[in-house]
Structure 1
Amino acid sequence: MSTTETRPWALYGFVGAGVVLILAAGGLVCQLAARQTPVGIAGTVLCWGAAAVLLRGFMTLQPNEAAVLTFLGKYSGTLTRDGFWFINPFALRTRVTRRLVTQEIGPLKVNDASGNPVEIGMVLTWRVEQAARAIFDVENYSRYVTAQGETALRSLASRYPYDEDEYAQSHAAQQAEQSPLPEGGILSLRDGGDRLTAILTADLRERMALAGLVVQDARLSHLAYAPEIAATMLRKQAASAVIAARRTITSGAVTIVEQALNELEDRLDGVLDAERKAAMVSNLLVVLVGDRDVTPVVNAGTLYS
């Protein structure tokens, strides 16, 4: 059952201070006017006793601070306006800051959607929106934030792969059903960026609303393979990068060779036969694709001797 936040009974502090001064002055008058008489003593005790009790009702609130008040075990309201106030002196008050809190959660070790152990962490920015719910609806709202943040982070990591390439072929259909992805794309932890931030923030806002908390932002701050597989996965990534680079180099080399052959045929009017074309293609590809400097060889004879 959630607690609805209400405004308590409260007076400006200087009004309460005026009442206390009047009571103190009344006690002094009773003491001076009726010395050593039962009426004078009783009036003095009552006035000064009431003034002393009312002194407990003064409190100050700083900007972005709230005070949750309870009286005889019942919620009596939340004071949210900053300044000098006079409240029920018998009410218990719990101060709650409403300033933004930046909290780092993790790194946690979680298995991603591909089953690989990864370390993931985030930076969470939140604040208390409804102080009464934060105090009465959860046992400890700071620990609640930590627990829900870890839960949301583990849930996010288990739904998405670390890398798109290793997951695309075997799980593309399933991933598309579970996640709001654009057509033709698979969301990964490494390349998710703002989309992952939006998903994580929306999940946390839903969780934190139960405790009267508001999530301003949640962003991944740490992402890496777990130490036991980090070296292997780094070698795999390096190999993938080399393959992609070779593919680009080969594609460009083929285009260059094709253009060279076409220009030679146009200038030599078809003098090159198939074998000469094959030899030229082989030599050009060796020069263009190879990652080392080539050594030129001068053929003293002909191609057929």
Structure 2
Amino acid sequence: MKETKAFQVNGFIGVLLIALFAGGGVFMLVQQSLPIAVPLLLVAVALASGITVVQPNQAIVVTFFGRYLGSIRDSGLFLTVPLSYRRSVSLRVRNFNSKRLKVNDVDGNPIEIAAVIVFKVVDSAKAVFDVDNYEAFVEIQSETAIRHVATKYPYDTFENVELTLRGNAEEVSSELTTELQDRLDVAGVKVIEARLTHLAYSTEIAQAMLQRQQASAIISARKKIVEGAVGMAQMALQQLEENNTIELDEERKVQMVNNLLVAIVSEKATQPVINTGTLY
């Protein structure tokens, strides 16, 4: 199915025609001319059945004895095909908040995920005739797309990978929008935006994953501290040698580097030991 424009006439002109036919029929009834009065009144009733009101951001799908005649998108009062069946379809932008779905990411970790889908109907004929209930169709396909995208990526990673659900929300949302649009084209629905609203580990592994994240953060911080400490020790030795402040043998250099590393890396404040010399 593809949306087409239905026959429509300005509704005020239609009301005027109905009034003229009805008035003529009544006049002929007064004149006792039934052969003319009855057809005029029937035409007035038939035209009255074609009067329809279209609200802003609404489409009226017109069918005549099971045949699709077209849709009316313009808002206002219109006269369309008499004795036709008309169904309204909202063209407004709407939100759909999915439930919190429990799925496994690509690593098999159970996670909870939810998203909000912003969509609108762009083809009223497809929305009415190609799917049974387009609103329910959007809901089911949205949850299916969310599950599919969630299983393609890890929730988080401590290795160098391209995409993760937690670290690349924009890319994941873009892929979710694209996949969802492919699924909803058949219903005449345009996906304006799809974004994750909830993302977390499932309760049964949340504590273990938190400990893992904390351990990773501690290791990363320690690595940075050690790198900085080594650099500072190298810089101290280099400046001492360049300024000829003091000459150290290899053993003294090792001891000095060891002391610097301990002082910088240690979590607690170090207590200096002052060497005042020897007795001999």
- TM-score between the two structures when normalised by the length of structure 1: 0.86
Match of 2:212? 236
CA displacement, residues 193-236 of structure 1 (integer Å, 9 cap, x when unaligned): 32222211111111111111111111111111111111110111
Moved more, 24-33 or 155-164: 24-33
Q: Which amino acid aligns with 2:117?
A: L
The answer as to whether partners of 1:6 and 1:78 remain within 8 angstroms in 2 is yes
CA displacement, residues 238-294 of structure 1 (integer Å, 9 cap, x when unaligned): 111111111111101110111111112233466211222122112111111112222
Pairing partner for 1:117 from 110, 124, 144: 110
CA displacement, residues 62-118 of structure 1 (integer Å, 9 cap, x when unaligned): 222101111111212111122210112311111001111111113211100000001
Match of 1:57? 50
Does residue 157 (structure 1) correspond to residue 153 (structure 2)? The answer is: no
Q: Which amino acid aligns with 1:25?
A: G
Match of 1:278? 254
Count of equivalent residues: 280
The two structures, once aligned, show a CA RMSD in angstroms of 2.0
Match of 1:297? 273
* Cα distance between partner residues in 1 of 2:31 and 2:109: 88
Q: Which amino acid aligns with 2:131?
A: V
What is the CA distance between 1:16 and its match in structure 2? 0.9
The answer as to whether partners of 1:121 and 1:221 remain within 8 angstroms in 2 is yes
Does residue 250 (structure 1) correspond to residue 243 (structure 2)? The answer is: no
Does residue 197 (structure 1) correspond to residue 173 (structure 2)? The answer is: yes
Match of 1:103? 96
1:122-271 alignment, distance < 5 Å: 122-165=115-158, 185-268=161-244, 271=247
Q: Which runs of 5+ in 2 are unaligned?
A: none
The answer as to whether partners of 1:164 and 1:186 remain within 8 angstroms in 2 is no
Q: Which amino acid aligns with 1:195?
A: E
* Cα distance between partner residues in 1 of 2:169 and 2:143: 19
Pairing partner for 2:4 from 3, 6, 19: 6
The answer as to whether partners of 1:162 and 1:189 remain within 8 angstroms in 2 is yes
The answer as to whether partners of 2:105 and 2:153 remain within 8 angstroms in 1 is yes
* Cα distance between partner residues in 2 of 1:51 and 1:269: 113
**Kindly, what percent of the aligned residue pairs are identical?**
40
Q: Which amino acid aligns with 2:268?
A: R
- TM-score between the two structures when normalised by the length of structure 2: 0.93
2:117 alignment partner, SS class:
strand
Pairing partner for 1:15 from 13, 16, 22: 13
Structure 1 residue ranges, 4+ long, deviating more than 4 angstroms after superposition: 42-46
The answer as to whether partners of 1:65 and 1:97 remain within 8 angstroms in 2 is yes
* Cα distance between partner residues in 1 of 2:178 and 2:122: 16
Q: Which amino acid aligns with 1:121?
A: A
The answer as to whether partners of 1:57 and 1:89 remain within 8 angstroms in 2 is yes
* Cα distance between partner residues in 2 of 1:203 and 1:272: 67
